Structure 1
């Protein structure tokens, strides 16, 4: 990608080259003016130090309804494809006391003990999915199977769907809209249709959980609503947020971990041999390929000047936190920051799950899934290999999630050994 000579820099709605884009933006400074898909102006914050300071700053809000003049004044384009991500009412779009209120009912499900208790279930799911992967490969005429669909995406989906309490009959419908709702190159009509389908599915789920409550997050949210602590909108919006965040981030992490290991056999050997722990593989993947490339949006509640960088943001400016850029910052990770290296000393110094009070609730669950899934996959299929050249993998058309549409692989070896 050619380096831009001036701002604002238009972000590619199809996200064909996220890291080429972030390298170009980094040249423009710690933050650069950009144009979001749909023609909306914003800042892209790429410097990890500045990212940290903005994430913990008490005068930076995520609530467009309170603090974004472009939204309040009706200046956004009609049918803006990213509108759902500012209108949704969840912990990810709230400010101050509202953020704490929306976060509170979710915290118990993600304590260290509760996450550890999920390990046996995740191990069982991984084993079942690997069986199905082998079956799919045997059934394919050319032996090629999509690892993302059958494994990297399916494991986190089954995990989060069970946590939320989806009936199995709703699994595929919700997964389909989650696969579409984060695409940032949608037309206004496509975005509206997906939003309507999300609302229908959430209404159906709420009706089911009202009639048949369970030990799950959907029931917890409904109980909290009955106590008057969540609004009618906040319940379905929180369900959508939990499903999307718990699914998309982990799916992209597993996706990139597998692709990186298959394209760097020396790194794979370090992990398989035990010379480097699988937790290190997970952390380097999170650094090297942040699953959330860009977090949309934050807004200063007053003019804000950062003394360290000299940057000034006006009250109500839209800020995009560019996690993909922060993870490859040369000042933190060295001149080879773009290289995947599981022995890197700074591997754990990343911001893929946020920072401070905004640290992702599901971070440890995602890590646990990675630590269980990756060694199981490469132990079961030691001959696993990409069926296409790495540069032929198609990125997800999303400036939000960083992953691939599919990962065609061959399991290789003797099928009798896959059982």
Structure 2
């Protein structure tokens, strides 16, 4: 679809992503005992240092623009302690308009700023009188409220702290800078996932429910976790979405598979779904590792060969242990015990990957159970009989 409907809310989500990226920048600058608050005291707040109002807008920042006057009004709210901050920042993607007298804001004295704002108010008043309209426009009401002489003391204290940052990076530029500065150690195909998970953490329901406060320690822990998971040549074992894989399994569709039949012949019907999940985990992990060139096919073949040889030896030993068992039901029970013992064994490490999971190794078992070897004696079975 080329055209967007009036109900399209894409910009709202882009604005939230932009605000979160601004917060991320501030998180990198925190001292170990500091934190960032979102939406509690304003858009992005670092207690004792800065309160930042983030405006993700197109169009010029003119003298009468509500982004400027509304931000001042919010900082003048009696419930907002402006004295608690060294800097009050209006950060906007807008540029100053070509005629904006506010353009030199950051180099002006407080007295000059007040004079400029009084001139803007006077111009708005004159245009209103010339229009001969009866209803007072919202822009004029807003400017009158901010410039009210009864609140001039608060305004002056606020203006001493106000910094306006215009022409801030666009969302695409901010993302590009973040990738360039922070994600060079991360595998290229995982950089977007890294960003999505980091922003997901920044806006998680748990954080929001607890006041939307992000400490330096919390941020560092999450960033380190993502680095460990997605870093180039990372030794951390890949994670898979097991909840999604579970939803794809329909046991009734698996009855013709060899690994299922081999589980059924030892009475393990109750464990088919879990076995299918482990097999999917192994398949997805192998596919990901090969696709990202983090392993080569010989690495996987060697691991599978080791698992098969170990299994064959353990099975041969266990068949000796139960050689005197002749009752079919008892032999099936011993085979099912063997099935569980094998699944509970500590997983052999896959190459140099740390914490190779049991689910993966057990999935390799079921992949092997699907394979028909050249030698019949090398076939993977759970049963403890020929």
TM-score (norm. length: structure 1): 0.22
The structure in which a higher percent of residues are helix is 2
Q: Give the greater-gyration-radius structure (CA).
A: 2
Higher RCO (CA 8 Å, separation ≥ 6 residues): 1
